[in-house]
Amino acid sequence: MTTRPTIAVVGASARAAAFSLLRAGFQAVTADLFADADLRRACPAERVTNYPHDLADYLARTECDGWIYTGALENYPDLVDQMAAMRPLRGNSGSVLRAIRNLLLLQATLKDVGLDFPETFACSGQSPGAGDWLHKTGLGASGSGVCEFDSLNLPTEGYWQRRISGVSCSAIYLASSQTCKLLGITRQLVGEQWTGARQFQYCGTIAPWELPSQAVAQLHRIGDVVSKEFELRDLFGVDFVFDGKVVWPVEVNPRTTAAVEAVERATESQLLCGKAILYAKYPLAISPTSSDRLLHRCGTLEHPRLADIPNAHAEVAPGEPMLTVLVDGVSVADVESKLRQQVAKLEIELYGCMTQ
Is-contact 221 115, C-beta < 8 A?
yes
* Phi and psi based region of residue 119 (left: phi greater than 0; alpha: psi -120 to 50; beta: remaining): beta
pLDDT attached to residue 171: 98
Give the residues across from 30 on adjacent strands: 9, 45
Give the pLDDT confidence of 162-202 residue by residue, as tens digits: 999 999 999 999 999 999 999 999 999 999 999 999 999 99
Instruction: Name the pLDDT band for 71 (thresholds 50, 70, 90).
Output: confident
Boundary of a domain, candidates 162, 188, 207: 162
Greatest alpha-carbon pair distance for the chain in Å reads: 66
Long-range contacts of the stretch 284-293 (C-beta < 8 A, 24+): 284/315, 284/316, 284/322, 284/350, 284/351, 285/313, 285/314, 285/315, 285/316, 286/310, 286/311, 286/312, 286/313, 286/314, 286/315, 286/316, 287/312, 287/313, 288/312, 288/313, 290/349, 290/350, 291/37
1 located within any domain: no
Boundary of a domain, candidates 61, 90, 119: 90
How far is residue 66's CA from residue 87's CA, in Å, rounded to a whole number?
6
11 located within any domain: yes
CATH of the domain at 83: 3.40.50.20
The b-or-e profile of 300-319 (16+ CB within 10 A means b, else e) is: eeeebebbbbbbeebebeee
Cis previous bond, 72, omega within 30:
yes
Is-contact 269 328, C-beta < 8 A?
yes
Cis previous bond, 44, omega within 30:
no
- Are 62 and 125 in the same domain? no
75 located within any domain: yes
Distance of CA 239 to the CA centre of its chain: 10
List of E strands, 89-179: 120-122, 133-136, 146-148, 159-162, 167-175
Is-contact 118 98, C-beta < 8 A?
no
How far is residue 134's CA from residue 202's CA, in Å, rounded to a whole number?
16
Tell me the whole-structure pTM to 2 decimals: 0.94
Boundary of a domain, candidates 162, 189, 214: 162
The boundaries of the domain holding residue 114 are: 100-162
- Are 345 and 312 in the same domain? yes
How many C-alpha atoms does 46 have within 13 Å on its Cβ side?
Answer: 19
- Judged against a pLDDT cut of 50, whether residue 354 lies above it is answered with no
Give the pLDDT confidence of 298-352 residue by residue, as tens digits: 999 999 999 999 999 999 999 999 999 999 999 999 999 999 999 999 999 999 8
Fill in the amino acid letter for 5. P
Give the residues across from 68 on adjacent strands: 9
304 located within any domain: yes
List of E strands, the chain: 6-10, 27-32, 45-47, 66-69, 120-122, 133-136, 146-148, 159-162, 167-175, 180-190, 202-207, 234-242, 247-253, 272-279, 284-285, 306-307, 315-316, 321-329
218 located within any domain: no
- Are 330 and 350 in the same domain? yes
Closest CA to 305 of 334, 256, 271, 339: 339
Give the pLDDT confidence of 117-143 residue by residue, as tens digits: 999 999 988 888 888 999 998 777 776
- Are 65 and 83 in the same domain? yes
Closest CA to 241 of 222, 258, 269: 222
Count: domains in the chain: 3
The average pLDDT across 138-163 equals 84
- Are 40 and 121 in the same domain? no
Write down the mean pLDDT value for the chain.
95
- Are 354 and 308 in the same domain? yes
239 located within any domain: no
258 located within any domain: no
79 located within any domain: yes
Is-contact 97 103, C-beta < 8 A?
no
Span between the terminal Cα atoms of the chain, in Å: 55
- Judged against a pLDDT cut of 80, whether residue 144 lies above it is answered with no
Q: Reduce the DSSP state of residue 349 to 3 states and report it.
A: helix
Q: Is 75 exposed, middle or buried (0-12, 13-18, 19+ CB in 10 A)?
A: middle
Fill in the amino acid letter for 173. Y
